Amino acid sequence: MSRVYNFSAGPAMLPEEVLKRASDEMLDFGGTGESVMEMSHRSKEYQAIVDACEASLREIMNIPENYKVLFLQGGASSQFAMIPLNLLNGSGKADFVITGQWANKAYSEAKRYGDCKVIASSKDKTFSYIPELNKADFTADADYFHICLNNTIYGTKFSLLPETGNVHLIADVSSCILSEPIDVTKFGLLYAGAQKNMGPAGLTVVIIREDLIGKARDITPTMFNYQIHVENGSMYNTPPTYGIYILGLVLDWIKGKGGLSAMKEHNERKAAVIYDFLDSSKMFKATVSGADRSLMNIPFVTGNDDLDAKFVKEAKAKGFINIKGHRSVGGMRASIYNAMPIEGCEALVAFMKDFEANN
């Protein structure tokens, strides 16, 4: 069976080169006679894999030395609690911009631990835009300011970062990390589930500035204390060993493609293929417009539920899978992470043109 074009929002498609390399190394990694899946996380062979992965991530993202990189588990959702337990311990206040389901979950969890304020929300229009922010509304003595940089479900993205001054900016970058350059120095903490642009589900990456470590409240579970993981090099318990290995392969692939600037250019070209068609179509319509459009996740609708369902069914039969939109938006969604080739976007648009002509 030939490979399909997988437009899943996550777990998402991986580069074929990465899958083939992993396949070649499955039974015998580097002459060890064993698979990485079988390898002790305490072995020098596995330590070399972790060290190389971190070094590659630091190089590609230009992560400064005063930031720690952690390879954790529990998904981005665990970070919704881990962040306030570790950081909401000064004034006990935090600001949030609610731009979708995940931003709202981060806020809902954090307010269990402190005084959390919604600065702005786009819920009034089904999160189809990034709301304007008024700096006068920001909490001057907040422990942190939280955003979801790219909104997987709703297809929006912050084109400009909030200017938070001395307040630590924190971002969920699960669905946009490695898709384009990020100035890490603008943030106190970045976190991401790996299952979109970095590798398989099960790995969570946290990039945290050193001065934010060691502030966990006394009730913080050991596994939720950043300091524990920093002191143990992400090896306090058995880490998601295979996920880290695959991330290392993905990073090698990105380096081979020219790094994050090249990824951004590639992703802009891919997104333009789909957005340009949607903007000219008489049947299909993008749910987000203007500068708020995501490069990674493109929701679109026909305006007719039956027609949407027919499109999803026929698309699957043609090899375009996981294109059904999230239930809160409806319609369709094309998630076009780094591994999606431009040919996939062009083939999808060709199918959409045929579908429009026939319906």
* Below-70 pLDDT ranges, the chain: 1
CB count within 10 Å of CB 357 equals 8
Cα–Cα distance between 202 and 74 in angstroms, integer? 7
pLDDT of residue 1: 58
Q: Could you give all domains of the chain from N- to C-terminal order, each with its CATH number? A: 17-256 (3.40.640.10), 259-358 (3.90.1150.10)
Determine whether 227 is exposed, middle or buried from the number of CB atoms within 10 Å of its CB (0-12, 13-18, 19+).
middle
pLDDT in tens, 264-291: 999 999 999 999 999 999 999 999 999 9
pTM of the model as a whole: 0.97
253 has catalytic annotation = no
**Sign of the CA dihedral with 88 first, then 90, 93, and 95 last:** negative
The answer to whether residues 75 and 196 touch, using CB atoms and an 8 Å cutoff, is no
Single out the catalytic residue among 157, 196, 270, 324. 196
Half-sphere exposure of 68 (CA within 13 A, CB side): 19
What percent of the chain is helix, strand and coil (3-state, nearest 5)? Answer: 40, 15, 40
pLDDT in tens, 305-355: 999 999 999 999 999 999 999 988 889 999 999 999 999 999 999 999 999
Cα–Cα distance between 89 and 211 in angstroms, integer? 13
The answer to whether residues 83 and 189 touch, using CB atoms and an 8 Å cutoff, is yes
172 has catalytic annotation = yes
Main-chain phi, psi angles of 233, to 5 degrees = 55, 40
Single out the catalytic residue among 68, 102, 252, 324. 102
pLDDT of residue 90: 96
Single out the catalytic residue among 95, 143, 172, 292. 172
